[in-house]
Amino acid sequence: PPDVEVLGRSTWTFLHTTAAYYPEKPTPHQRANMISLIRALPLLYPCSNCALDFGEDVKVNPPDVSGRVGLSRWLCERHNEVNAKLGKERFDCSLEKTDERWKDGPRD
Ligand code: FAD
Whether 26 shows a pLDDT value over 90: the answer reads yes
Residues in contact with ligand 1 by the CB-under-6-Å rule are 4-5, 8-9, 11-12, 16, 41, 49-50, 53-54, 76, 79-80, 82-83, 86, 88, 91, 98, 101
Instruction: Tell me, yes or no, whether 108 lies in a domain.
Output: no
pLDDT at residue number 108: 63
Q: What's the domain range around 8?
A: 4-103
Query: Which residue minimizes the CA distance to atom 48 of ligand 1?
Result: 5
Residue 84 carries which side chain, given as an amino acid letter?
A: A
Whichever domain contains 64, its CATH number is 1.20.120.310
pLDDT single digits (tens) 27-57? 999 999 999 999 999 999 999 999 999 999 9
pLDDT higher than 90, residue 14: yes
- Give the C-alpha distances (Å, rounded to integers) separating 87 from 80, 82, 83, 84, 95: 10, 9, 6, 5, 23
**Would 12 be classed as within a structural domain?**
yes
**What ipTM is given for this predicted complex?**
0.99
Composition of the chain by helix, strand, coil, percent to 5? 70, 0, 30
CB within 8 Å of 34: residues ≥ 6 apart: 22, 26, 63, 65, 71
CB 20 within 8 A of CB 103: yes
Instruction: Look at the chain and report how many structural domains it folds into.
Output: 1
